[in-house]
Amino acid sequence: MIIPRPRELAFLGGSVAFHPDLVRHAPPDASLGDEGYRLDVGPSGIRVTPGGRAGRFYGLQTLAQFGAAVPYGTIEDRPLFGWRGVMLDVARHFMPKTFLLRLIDLLAEHKLNILHLHLTDDQGWRLEIERYPRLTEVGGRRGGGPAPSGDEPRFYTREDVREIVAYAAERFVTIVPEIEMPGHAQAAIAAYPELGNHPSRRLEVWSGWGISEHVLNLEESTVAFCQNVLDEVMDLFPGPYVHVGGDECPPGEWERSPRALRRLSELGLAGPSEACRWFVGRMAEHLARHGRRTICWDEPDREPTPGTTVMVWREEDALPDRSDIILAPHTRTYLDYYSSDAPGQPPAQPGVVTLADAYGFTPDPGVRGVQCQLWTEYMPTPEQVEYMAFPRLCAFAEVAWGSPGDYPDFLRRLDPHLARLAARGVRVGPLIP
């Protein structure tokens, strides 16, 4: 459960006033699953039986949500999905480390266990790479003319990443890094023009939104560059997954480049439409050699690259029939869309995902996981991210845990939950049922 349903628990009548001294920790019961737990609450106190370490943590989260009075009863609880993710785009707008730590706390409180950081895009490169310092020196700041004084590149240092990863691990959250390629890579090409299809041309880190036509070239040296970047990424992020993007890669530059066309023919590829899949495959092979699993976004016209887990962002009714996928349908999980069609809202991505849409997401229980997305073109600040995330993230969290129920009941439980978040300074957007 994410937001408790006290009425379900209170079948014995009565409640116990919460005090940490009243909590007894029973030995683990593996049958509950690593993330599962059982709470037994009665006149003599509270017993937490965890499945594993994460289960103990989640049992205590549930107790904390009951507040001062924990109702008598027993609850056995475990998640439906092993991947319960939130993606935050820190490329379009950089988010300070302090905010990431706060967001990790909020995720953990909602029993979410993946923070996927979209670290690079056309508009920014936000991760220090020692071997290629210009990625952040140039890519850490958007183009569009001379920088105002004091406009320093903004990115996470290696030390920042180690702190974020460790903080997350203590809260059972895994950080999944995304390095986007071969499209959505204009910031990298601005830093190292030899990565592009016109190495003599100087590009800026893009200051517009959308899909840049400038993509990585197909040279072996560019493959090696990206694999070297991934080596540093693997060193910094110990989790099993690395995301390499792979979405929205316009083939126009390759179609018009004699060099790219020659390279396609050397590689035996039928045409530019196969190049993106090939590029992602080269990264997947490299990551697999180092024991990591590659994730990429799905693309409508492309067969998934073998050996990758696909993150599916298409319409819900166009989802592939596969189990090794993470569902992120934009119609349910893009929290950068407006939350209603009411006038007067701050600018957001065109599209609407209401709270009811988010709660009504019914993912196939056979998939690997589910994820909601916070793209930040229209979220310049942490305040705006929180405003867009909440309350829809609470609905998503119940879906991801596998405990959604009746929507009116959710709304009743949500009210006091949002009041608790707001009291702690979380900037909660409007509740529009």
Taking the complex as a whole, how short is the minimal distance between the CB of residue 222 and ligand ACM, in angstroms? 22
- HEC string of the chain? CCCCCHHHHHHHCCEEECCHHHEEECCCCHHHCCCCEEEEEECCEEEEEECCHHHHHHHHHHHHHHCCEEECEEEEECCCCCEEEEEEECCCCCCCHHHHHHHHHHHHHCCCCEEEEECEECCEECECCCCCCHHHHCCCCCCCCCCCCCCCCCCECHHHHHHHHHHHHHCCCEEEEEEEECCCCHHHHHHCHHHECCCCCCCCCCCCCCCCCCCECCCHHHHHHHHHHHHHHHHHCCCCEEEEECCCCCCHHHHHCHHHHHHHHHHCCCCHHHHHHHHHHHHHHHHHHCCCEEEEECCCCCCCCCCEEEEECCCHHHCCCCCCEEECCHHHHECCEECCCCCCCCCCEEEECCHHHHHCCCCCCCCCEEEEEECCCCCCCHHHHHHHHCCHHHHHHHHHHCCCCCHHHHHHHHHHHHHHHHHCCCCCCCCCC
CA distance 335 to 150: 32
Which residue, 173 or 310, has its beta carbon nearer to ligand ACM? 310
Q: Which is nearer to ligand ACM, 15 or 309 (CB)?
A: 309
**To the nearest whole angstrom, how small is the minimum distance from the Cβ of residue 289 to ligand ACM?**
26
Please say whether the beta carbons of 369 and 390 come within 8 A: no
CB of 372 to ligand ACM, least distance (A): 12
C-beta of residue 286 within 8 angstroms of C-beta of residue 233: no
Least distance from C-beta 249 to ligand ACM, angstroms?
Answer: 10
Minimal distance in Å, beta carbon 116 to ligand ACM? Answer: 11
As measured in angstroms, the least distance from the Cβ of 10 to ligand ACM is: 43
CB of 49 to ligand ACM, least distance (A): 40
Nearer to ligand ACM, 40 or 316 (CB): 316
User: Which sequence positions are flagged as catalytic?
Assistant: 121, 184, 248
Using CB under 6 A as the criterion, which residues of the chain lie in contact with ligand ACM when the complex forms?
Answer: 247-248, 297, 313
